[in-house]
Each structure stands twice: as structure tokens, then as C-alpha cells.
A = this chain, B = another copy of it.
Amino acid sequence: EIVAAVESVLAPQRAGRLAGRKVLVTAGPTHEPIDPVRYIANRSSGRQGFAIAAAAAEEGADVVLVSGPVSLADPPGVNVVRVETAREMMAAVESALPVDAAVMTAAVADWRTEADSGHKIKKDGSGRPPALVLVENPDILATLGHHPSARPKLLVGFAAETDDLIANARAKLDRKGCDWIVANDVNPETGNMGGAFNTVRIVSRAGIEEWPRLAKEDVARRLVGRIADHFAGA
């Protein structure tokens, strides 16, 4: 009994290069209600984020996955928190802190309507549309990047872009206070959005690394390997 107890103290709890590390992943879109029947949404299948959470758990990390509305099953061994709006996602992310690494793949809505009406908005017969007053949502990535007490040791943002991929990714790196930005091309002709593959570049202060077109599971494993390298000091 004493030998077993000593072994359990000395042995890492889980095997893998991220054993003992806590990793936060966000995934999916957010839905911002306009009224009980309408909402503004971002397109995001959640597949890349779910694959990263699964790969980090396989590497032994203690993983929290905060996801907006998607039709994907919980990855095995991952603690999944399901949310709908950007404000709910912000609260779930703050509850998960502190973490060693955070990989923020969610396509968070930049704006929400000022007041969810609570009642279905009706056409008034004038032919004029209703005035939708939009307000900015909290910036979850920047909140973590500039967190006064619990900034993740490694903060990875995602940038889904149609234009000026690298310029936008570099600007985002500085503005949000991230360590790396995974820039992915979501031009409709790539088929990346909602598809099984992804074409990404890893943008850091050290430079830009172009990855070939890979299955999202392979992007996930490669990224998790890079995170493990980082913590190993490689």
C-alpha cells in the first residue's frame, strides 16, 4: 500500500507530453438572439476546435472545451461546456482559468443586438425593416491576452480571414496580446469552412510558418505537438 501510494505521487497522473498541463480550447460559433425566433450567427462547424481538444486530451492534458452551438459529440476525456452567446462563452472561459495553454478557435460574434426583444418582432406593414441596434461583444481573446492575473502561459488565437491573411494575423497578434495566431483562409472556394481540411499558417513574433493543406485532425495533432515542444523548451 505504501509503495502504491508513493508510486501514485511520483508517477504523472496521465501519460503523454502534456500530462499535468491544463489546456482551454474554445470552439464553434456564438448565436446572438435578436428575439425569440431570430438570431445572428457566425459560420463555424467547430470541427477544428473539437479536434484540437481531442488531440490535447490524447497527449495527456486536462482539457476544458467551451463550445458554442455545434452538432458534434463530446470528444472522449474532455470536459465540455456548451454555451450559446459570446457573453456566456466569456463567463465559461473565465471560470476555466488559470490554464497553461489556451487555444481560441471559436468564431465569436463581434456584435450582439442591444436588447433581445423577448417578443417576436413583427413587420409593421411599412416595408421598412426594424432598426437593429448592435453593440460590441466582449473580446474574449484580448481579455485573456491582457489578463492582469491569469494570462495563459501560452495563448493561441485563430484568425479566419478572406483577405490580407498575414497582415490581419500580425495585427491581431499584437492587438490581442497572443503568442501565436493560427491564420486560416476561409475563402469559400477553399472549402475549409465547415469542411474536413484546413490550410493554415502559424504567425508568431518569430515569423510565419506555412503548413500544407491537412485534415483538421492532422492540423490539431501538429499544433498540440508544437504546444508540447513549447512547454518542453524546444
Q: Specify which chain B residues have a CB less than 8 angstroms from the CB of A188 in the assembled complex.
A: 36
Docked Cα-Cα span, A25 to B31, in Å, equals 27
Docked Cα-Cα span, A120 to B160, in Å, equals 9
Interface of A: prevailing SS: loop
Contact of A120 among B119, B120, B162 (CB under 8 A): B162
A94 at the interface (CB under 8 A from B): no
A15 at the interface (CB under 8 A from B): no
Distance in Å: Cβ of A77 to nearest Cβ of chain B? 25
Docked Cα-Cα span, A65 to B183, in Å, equals 39
Q: Which A residues contact B (CB, under 8 angstroms)?
A: 31, 34, 36-44, 71, 107, 109-111, 119-120, 122-123, 127, 129-130, 132, 134-136, 160-163, 168, 186-188, 193
Docked Cα-Cα span, A193 to B37, in Å, equals 9
Closest to A134 in B: B129
Closest to A113 in B: B129
> Across chains A and B, which 5 residue pairs bring their CB atoms closest together, nearest first?
A129-B134, A111-B129, A120-B162, A37-B43, A71-B71
Would you list 6 pairs from A and B whose C-beta atoms are within 8 A, ordered by A residue?
A: A34-B40, A38-B43, A38-B109, A120-B186, A123-B136, A129-B134
Decide if A129 touches B135 in the complex (CB within 8 Å): yes
Q: Specify which chain B residues have a CB less than 8 angstroms from the CB of A36 in the assembled complex.
A: 43, 162, 186-188, 193
Q: Known contacts A71-B71, A135-B129: does B43 contact A119 (CB below 8 Å)?
A: no
Docked Cα-Cα span, A122 to B40, in Å, equals 16
Docked Cα-Cα span, A131 to B124, in Å, equals 21
Closest to A109 in B: B38
